[in-house]
């Protein structure tokens, strides 16, 4: 057999296999021949010829269909491309996310005093140094204690609770509202979370706004 005949047969065989895989890929993503061809920048008839194994596409076509989610490696070789592993976040990024979660849990949001934000920034910096091998555990402990001492939940004591309940009951009575124990508890938690400073009680206007928002 002439070597040219062998080359022709190989080319035809490749076109047939490519066409079958191309059709399978198109059907797997649920796209019609017409839509697929339009996206790839060819006529529908040309797309049909590719799938029938009558023609082989060029590089521009292959580049265009990648955007449709087609595995070009599979089309050409018959083997699936290895999935690209998503990089894991760094230890510093994980610690930063945990610190932000702690901020929310303690009721310390970004709208609070700049001093608190500075403490969070210092804590994050200490964590970043710690994961790099630095001995910053003492600083981490110090900043954690400072933040805990500023939490409206941690600083909450009996006297402040009594003062807050008096304010809630005063506003409710002045407006003729009857509050259940649950309403009072919900108002207390909301006011303590939204308080601008844990050291100063909320104003009567703030109490009224919270009760209105809660529908109490």
Helix (H) or strand (E) holding 120: helix 114-131
Number of other residues whose CB lies within 10 A of the CB of residue 16: 13
Which residues in the chain land under pLDDT 50? Answer: 1-3, 196-198
The domain spans of the chain are 3-77, 91-150, 158-214
Containing 111, the helix (H) or strand (E) segment is none
Q: Whole-angstrom Cα distance, residue 108 to residue 95?
A: 17
What's the rounded Cα separation, in Å, for the pair 168 and 172?
6
Q: What is the pLDDT of residues 132-176, one digit of tens each?
A: 667 766 776 776 667 666 655 555 566 777 888 888 888 888 888
pTM of the model: 0.37
Q: Are 39 and 66 in contact (CB under 8 A)?
A: no
CATH 1.10.260.40: does it fit domain 3-77?
yes
The tens digit of pLDDT for each residue in 67-85 reads 888 888 888 888 886 665 5
């Amino acid at each position: 057999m002439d070597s040219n005949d062998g080359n022709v047969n190989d080319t035809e065989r490749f076109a047939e296999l490519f066409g079958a895989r191309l059709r399978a890929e198109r059907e797997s993503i649920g796209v019609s021949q017409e839509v697929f061809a339009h996206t790839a920048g060819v006529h529908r008839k040309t797309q049909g010829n590719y799938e029938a194994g009558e023609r082989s596409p060029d590089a521009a076509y292959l580049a265009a269909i990648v955007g449709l989610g087609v595995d070009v490696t599979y089309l050409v070789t018959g083997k699936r491309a290895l999935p690209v592993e998503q990089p894991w976040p760094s230890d510093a990024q994980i610690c930063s996310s945990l610190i932000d979660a702690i901020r929310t849990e303690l009721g310390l949001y970004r709208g609070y005093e700049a001093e608190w934000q500075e403490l969070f920034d210092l804590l994050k910096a200490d964590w970043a140094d710690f994961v790099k091998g630095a001995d910053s555990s003492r600083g981490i402990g110090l900043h954690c204690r400072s933040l805990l001492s500023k939490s409206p939940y941690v600083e909450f004591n009996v006297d402040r609770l009594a003062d807050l309940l008096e304010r809630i009951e005063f506003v409710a009575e002045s407006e003729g509202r009857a509050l259940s124990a649950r309403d009072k508890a919900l108002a207390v938690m909301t006011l303590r979370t939204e308080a601008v400073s844990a050291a100063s009680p909320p104003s009567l206007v703030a109490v009224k706004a919270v009760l209105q928002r809660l529908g109490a």
